[in-house]
Chains A and B, each alone.
Chain A
Amino acid sequence: MSVILSIEGLVKTFGGLIATDHVSLDVREGEIHALIGPNGAGKSTLINQLCGELTSDEGTIRLGGQDITGLKVPERVALGLGRTFQITSLLDELTVLENVGMAIQVREGGNFRIFDLARKRRAVWDEAAAFVAGSGLANRAAIRVADLSHGEKKQLELIVALAMKPRLLLLDEPMAGLGHVESQAMIGMLSETRKSAAMLLVEHDMEAVFALADRISVLVYGRIIASGTVDEIRNNPAVREAYLGAEDELC
Chain B
Amino acid sequence: MRNRILALLLICVLIALPTITRELGEASLLALATRILIYGMAAASLNFILGYGGMVSFGHAAFFGIGAYVVGILATHHASGEPLFGIIPGTDQMLVTLPLAVLVAGAFAAAIGALSLRTGGVQFIMITLAFAQMLFFLFVSLKAYGGEDGIIISRTNALPGLNMRDKATFYYVVLAIAVLFFFGLRRLTQSSFGTVISGIRQNERRMAALGIPAYRYKLYAFILSGMGAGLAGALMANFLRFASPDMMHWTKSGELMIMVILGGVGTLFGPFLGAGAFLILETFLAEWSENWPFALGLILLVVVLGTRGGLQALIDRVTALVRGGAK
Q: What is the distance, in angstroms, from A115's C-beta to the closest C-beta of chain B?
A: 6
Q: Which one, A53, A93, A111, A113, contacts B212 given CB within 8 A?
A: A111
B208 contacts the other chain (CB 8 A): yes
Interface of B: prevailing SS: helix
- In Å, the complex CA distance between A140 and B76 comes to 63
Q: What is the distance, in angstroms, from A67's C-beta to the closest C-beta of chain B?
A: 19
Known interface pairs A77-B211, A164-B210; A90-B203 also in contact (CB < 8 Å): yes
| A89-B203 in contact (CB<8A) | yes
Interface residues as binary, B174-197 with A (CB distance below 8 Å gives 1, 0 otherwise) = 000000000000011011111110
- In Å, the complex CA distance between A124 and B193 comes to 14
| A103-B202 in contact (CB<8A) | no
A14 contacts the other chain (CB 8 A): no
A17 contacts the other chain (CB 8 A): no
Nearest-neighbor residue (CB-CB) of B208 within chain A: A73
- In Å, the complex CA distance between A110 and B195 comes to 12
Interface residues as binary, A72-107 with B (CB distance below 8 Å gives 1, 0 otherwise) = 111101100011010001111110000000110111
B165 contacts the other chain (CB 8 A): no
Chain B interface residue count: which class? 20 to 34
- In Å, the complex CA distance between A118 and B52 comes to 15
Known interface pairs A91-B202, A93-B202; A106-B190 also in contact (CB < 8 Å): no
| B193-A112 in contact (CB<8A) | yes
Interface core residue of A74, A83, A114, A119 (most chain B CB under 10 Å): A114
B222 contacts the other chain (CB 8 A): no
- In Å, the complex CA distance between A114 and B228 comes to 14
Residues of chain B within 8 A (CB-CB) of A51 are: 209
Apart from A106-B196, A106-B212, A119-B190, what are 17 other A-B pairs with CB-CB below 8 Å?
A78-B211, A85-B209, A89-B203, A89-B206, A90-B203, A91-B206, A93-B202, A102-B196, A102-B199, A102-B207, A105-B196, A107-B211, A111-B192, A111-B196, A113-B191, A113-B193, A115-B188
Q: Which residues of B approach A to under 8 Å, CB–CB?
A: 187-188, 190-196, 199, 202-203, 205-213, 217, 220, 224
Q: Which residues of A approach B to under 8 Å, CB–CB?
A: 51, 53, 72-75, 77-78, 82-83, 85, 89-94, 102-103, 105-107, 110-119, 121, 160, 164
